[in-house]
A = this chain, B = another copy of it.
Amino acid sequence: MSIVVVGTVGYDDVETTRGAVRDALGGSAAYFALAARFFSPVSIVAAVGSDFSSDDHRLLAERAIDLRGLERHEGRTFRWKARYHADMNRRETLSLELNVFARFSPTLLPDQRRSDYLFLANVSPELQTRVLKQVASPKVVGADTMNHWIENEREGLLRLMKQLTILMLNDDEARMLTGEHNLAKAGRALVKMGPQAVVIKRGEAGVLHFSEAGVFAAPAYPVEEVVDPTGAGDTFAGAFMGYIARMGKVNEAVRRAAVVYGNVVASFVVESFSLQRMSALSWEDIAERHRAYNELTDSQPPRWTSP
């Protein structure tokens, strides 16, 4: 039930209306792993540079994240700078430096090759495919993608999709990949393109989950203090995949419950900059918000039926 995640581990400069951070630990694999660890052992496959701090390494290692696959190369770590608008659903990427990640070509460890659960975070379809080929017989393969790959590596992405169990992407990406503006239609079209299930992430509008069994709509937990939305999608993915790995099987009921945990855990990450909230999170925090989420979405609340 261990999960392997391939993605970035890097440093972010992020500015929002609530403040700014520089050189903050980030990257899709870091966010993913810090969420998944609550549900399942998780192993990061990524590369960092010689500037990667031992404190950050320790932060991940102390939280039981397997870092044997975190390669250290000469050079600088992956870096990303972004600024969010007052409407935190919108942001501008100010700069992106792949640095050592540009020449990253991982060779998975023997036990990673036998993994049942694999998540291909938002890297090139070519790299995602190269990693997937090394895993012998995964039970569940999830992947994220983005507009850049949809525009520039469409064929590779379409081939990869046929091998996926679960595809995650945001609403604009779903529209771009299918050419369909309507999300209900886009979701149905995506399921026909290969994955058993498709999760369309809509920020504060929540998540739509599509499969042959139908559509599941899960609202976002309404967070009162959104400080930094960075990593919400990767955190969602980590909790979602983590829950599935913990259950040891995947069907519609498991995926829907996993979507709920994805929303619950992602609601924490946005409450502070970078991974601050995630690195201090406890299982009790998650359980409490899971109860709150169930109340939030309960259309037949028995305890409120008195006049």
Partner of A219, one of B187, B188, B218, B307: B218
User: Is there a chain B Cβ closer than 8 Å to A251's Cβ?
Assistant: yes
Closest B-chain residue to A200, C-beta based?
A: B222
User: For this complex, into which size category does the number of interface residues on chain A fall?
Assistant: 35 or more
Partner of A251, one of B206, B216, B305: B305
Chain B residues with Cβ below 8 Å from A225 are 182
Report if A253-B301 is in contact (Cβ < 8 Å); known contacts: A208-B222, A214-B295, A216-B296: yes
User: What number of copies of this chain does the assembly contain?
Assistant: 2
Is A249 a contact of B301 with CB atoms below 8 Å?
Answer: no
Partner of A257, one of B216, B249, B299: B299
Instruction: A302 to B252: give the CA distance in the assembly, Å.
Output: 10
Instruction: A302 to B257: give the CA distance in the assembly, Å.
Output: 12
Instruction: A186 to B202: give the CA distance in the assembly, Å.
Output: 20
Instruction: A256 to B306: give the CA distance in the assembly, Å.
Output: 13
Instruction: A214 to B296: give the CA distance in the assembly, Å.
Output: 8
User: Is there a chain B Cβ closer than 8 Å to A181's Cβ?
Assistant: yes
Chain B residues with Cβ below 8 Å from A205 are 202, 204-206
Chain B residues with Cβ below 8 Å from A295 are 214
Q: Nearest Cβ distance between residue A90 and chain B, in whole angstroms?
A: 13
User: Is there a chain B Cβ closer than 8 Å to A215's Cβ?
Assistant: yes
Is A217 a contact of B219 with CB atoms below 8 Å?
Answer: yes
Is B256 a contact of A301 with CB atoms below 8 Å?
Answer: yes
Closest B-chain residue to A305, C-beta based?
A: B253
User: Is there a chain B Cβ closer than 8 Å to A224's Cβ?
Assistant: yes
Is A299 a contact of B213 with CB atoms below 8 Å?
Answer: no
Partner of A215, one of B222, B226, B305, B307: B222
Listed A/B pairs (9) with beta-carbon separation below 8 Å:
A184-B222, A202-B205, A213-B304, A215-B222, A217-B297, A251-B305, A251-B306, A253-B302, A253-B305
Q: Which 10 A-B pairs have the closest CB atoms?
A: A205-B205, A217-B219, A252-B304, A184-B222, A253-B305, A253-B304, A184-B224, A260-B299, A249-B307, A256-B299
